[in-house]
A and B are shown apart, each in its own frame.
Chain A
Amino acid sequence: MSYIRIDSYGHCLNNIKSDGIKAHKQSNSVIYSSYKFVIAIENSNCEDYVTEKLVLALSSTSIPIIASRDGKPDYARFAPKYSYINVYDYKSIKELADYLNYLSSNETAYNEYLWFRQPPANKYTVLEFHLK
């Protein structure tokens, strides 16, 4: 959090409150949608261990931040290419934060990660292609 602001709603490094989140009155994906990026890193790095963390982030139509090292987990099997940001693609936390700061101030570059949502996408054909 030294290089970029993160609103943390959970117990860990909590810096913001939401009664709706705490009481499960509001789906996480609803509040995710108002942010540009969502940390969706899994608890474990196993080949196919991808959970609702990714689904909720993608459902919110924000950009998921994931962690995949040596293809574990292999997100290419679960989400379209260029639809998420892998922390292991960057040499340092600062380099990652610099890139996220760049995206968060550049709408064109940011929207490139949402390419598969752009009309008139033949969305089911696209999904089928990327999940195969």
Chain B
Amino acid sequence: MPFNNLPEIIRNDKQQQFSIVYVLESEIYSQQSSNWDKTDFQMWYNLERSYPEPITYFNLSNYLEQLFSPVQISFSKKTTNAPIIWISSNW
């Protein structure tokens, strides 16, 4: 869709179906991002307003076992190289 022909998005409190995921998932440094990277998108993402079902990437209930699993590597066995890890992109 041409960047200058995006549908107008008007926020209200009614449930509505969004096509905003495309915008959220596009990385500013990805190919073809030059068409929209300076556009000031109005963005919101509210599960209660989405229709016909909540728009999300995952169902949290599928991850209950992992989310509440015991600690995998204890404090004393953590790497001492750095306390923090950041993976901005695998590519």
Contacts and interface: CB of A to CB of B under 8 A. Distances in A.
Interface of A: 4-13, 16, 21-22, 24, 28-29, 31-39, 43-44, 46-52, 55, 58-62, 65, 73, 78-79, 100-101, 104, 107, 110-111, 114, 116-117, 119, 121, 123-124, 126-127, 131
Given A55-B63, A59-B69, A104-B83, A47 B88 contact: no
A26 to B, nearest CB: 10
Interface string B40-73: 0001111100000010111010011011111111
A124 B60 CA distance: 13
B82 interface: yes
B85 A38 contact: yes
Contacts of A104: 83
A79 B66 CA distance: 12
B79 interface: yes
Contact of A49 (B24, B64, B76): B24
Interface residues of B, number: 38
Contacts of B67: 55, 58-59, 79, 127
Q: What is the interface of chain B mostly: helix, strand, loop, or mixed? A: loop
A101 B80 CA distance: 12
Contacts, number: 146
Contacts of B83: 4-5, 35-37, 100-101, 104
Contacts of A58: 63, 66-67
Nearest to A114: B71
Interface in B17-59: 24, 27, 29, 43-47, 54, 56-58
B84 interface: yes
Contacts of A32: 85
Nearest to B60: A78
B46 A47 contact: yes
12 contacts: A6-B85, A8-B85, A11-B29, A13-B88, A34-B78, A35-B84, A36-B83, A39-B86, A44-B24, A46-B24, A100-B83, A117-B69
Nearest to A45: B43
